[in-house]
Amino acid sequence: MGHSLTLKKSNCKNCYKCIRHCPVKSIRFSGNQAHIISDECILCGQCFVVCPQNAKEIADSTEKVKVLLMSGAPVIASIAPSFIANYDGCGIENIRAALKKLGFHDAEETAVGATIVKNEYERLLHEEKRDVLISSCCHSVNLLIQKHFPNLIPYLADVMSPMQAHCADIKRRFPEAKTVFIGPCVSKKDEAEAYEGIVDAVLTFEELSNWLKAEDIRLEYGTVPENKSRARFFPTTGGILKTMSCNEPYYTYLAIDGIENCINALHDIEDGNIHSCFIEMSACAGSCIGGPVMEKHHKSPIKSYKAVSGYAGKEDFDVCQPETSHLHKSFAYITQKNNIPDENEIKNILRQMGKTTPEQELNCGSCGYNSCREKAVAIYQGKAEISMCMPFLKEKAENFSDLISRNTPNGIIVLNDMLEVQQINQAAQNIVNIRHANDILGEQIVRILDPMPFIEVQNTGSGIYNSRIYLAEYNRYVEQTIVPDNGSNLLICLMHDVTDEETQREKKENITRQTIEVADKVVEKQMRIVQEIASLLGETAAETKIALSKLKESISDE
């Protein structure tokens, strides 16, 4: 069975937004890519909704439906009651007309199946006196219980969903028909595949809209009032309860929406705190009108509710209620293969994450997990990586940066675009005679250095490299490099103290100058002696002068 939610690997930017919003943490990270763990996924579609890179995509069933249309069998659509919110002001008659243009035989409202289902819920409460009964209309809630709360499966209403009840009803009336459900839900694709022979294909509203657009078919708008349509309330929070009589004595009836709320409620039931209760559970906040593939993406909860309530009648559809056995649906435990680490293994992983004491377990949630221990378990199970921790990476980067900054002999000063000192290392403090970094952090560079070279680099965008300058106020010579970091609007100044080198050069120049002066005196003295003896040895005078001049030149060259 294929997974209804897939991932475009090249688009994953490793931001962890999907795991932060996944209520059951069914996403694994490996090789800087997110992978959906199908054994644990409840297909709530949250990762699809929140992914900033559109890396999550829903398997498209349009081609599958086109094949059904070409098969020759009559294809009848079951339209989820949330359609009135997605196609605001477009009644079932208009949807039916558009679908017939695509080649469908007919289109009916899934709300008919909803009426059948709510009748069976009322029978379970009245005749079987179930202690706790959880509605099973939402396949994501069903998967949540099957995969993560298997001990609560007995409380799940063993009844078909409205989609299945309606499609089974269609096939009873039209034995040759193929059925296609169209709605706002990802999980319905999985439900159709898991229970074969009832629903032949599932389209999302988005797939239908794209198909209509491709065929240049426009929906007409306008609705026809109908009193017998109370089940149209089903896609709203409390909508199932609105259609039920809710008159069984000693029973509490309540509606819960949003998967986090459902999880909390299931924990309550697990702890034995809930009795004599019918609970309507919807994975999506706002129920189906807040579904992940509602094309308006959750933006109009009030408007959507008003569209549904304005279209719903006050009485039930006239339905032919099937035998209870024909509505029965069994739910199996869907096993997972996760090993649980012991306390020593968890502590060892936490140590690798740089968390050796409880105080270091910040539980900040940046990795997507609710606590550092939960993340450690995920690492043990191969779902997460140690590097998926913002404080850990930040501390690691800062420690590495500090290690270099502390141990380099070069002075480092970092300025922001206001030429305010953001960072200064010890070597730079020594050069400019500052005892504490806090004395200059946040202050203008003009307090310690000439700002003109920094302004020049800021204006031109070009760096200044190995410029040798004399800092008169500190009696130091430095080789100064200033480079812009355009990505972060920072200026980075590197200073190499060359005072000793410059002092040695000056000392050498002084020695050379003194040597030349001595040589000049020697030459002058020798010349006087030469002139005195020239009269005696005239022929050697010129040679001696040349030799002494060469001596002087060689000393000067040094």
3-state secondary structure 501-549: HHHHHHHHHHHHHHHHHHHHHHHHHHHHHHHHHHHHHHHHHHHHHHHHH
Domain assignment of residue 421, yes or no: yes
Note whether 68 and 193 are same-domain residues.
yes
Q: What are phi and psi of 468, to 5 degrees?
A: -85, 120
Domain assignment of residue 182, yes or no: yes
Note whether 72 and 149 are same-domain residues.
yes
Note whether 108 and 219 are same-domain residues.
yes
pLDDT digits (tens, 9 = 90+) for 453-466: 999 999 999 999 99
pLDDT of residue 225: 82
Q: State which of 327, 355, 373 marks the end of a domain.
A: 327
Which one is predicted more confidently, 71 or 546?
71
pLDDT digits (tens, 9 = 90+) for 71-80: 999 999 999 9
Note whether 178 and 94 are same-domain residues.
yes
Q: Which of 30-34, 272-276, 457-461, 544-548 has the lowest mean pLDDT?
A: 544-548
pLDDT of residue 503: 80
pLDDT of residue 360: 78
Note whether 345 and 323 are same-domain residues.
no
Note whether 93 and 64 are same-domain residues.
yes
Which one is predicted more confidently, 410 or 8?
410
Note whether 375 and 426 are same-domain residues.
no
Note whether 281 and 245 are same-domain residues.
yes
For tokens 């477009």, what's the residue? 90
pLDDT of residue 1: 44
Query: Residue 484's domain spans which residues?
Result: 409-497
Per-residue pLDDT, averaged over 48-69, amounts to: 91
Does residue 145 carry a pLDDT above 70? yes
Note whether 364 and 257 are same-domain residues.
no
Domain assignment of residue 80, yes or no: yes
User: In the chain, what percentage of residues exceed pLDDT 90?
Assistant: 62
User: In the chain, what percentage of residues exceed pLDDT 70?
Assistant: 93
Q: What is the CATH number of the domain that holds 363?
A: 1.10.15
Q: State which of 327, 357, 391 marks the end of a domain.
A: 327
71 within 8 A of 178, measured Cβ to Cβ? yes
The model's pTM is 0.74
Does residue 415 carry a pLDDT above 90? yes
Note whether 430 and 282 are same-domain residues.
no
All residues at 6 or more sequence positions from 492 whose CB lies less than 8 Å from its CB, including other chains: 412, 413, 414, 415, 482, 483, 484, 485
Domain count, the chain: 4
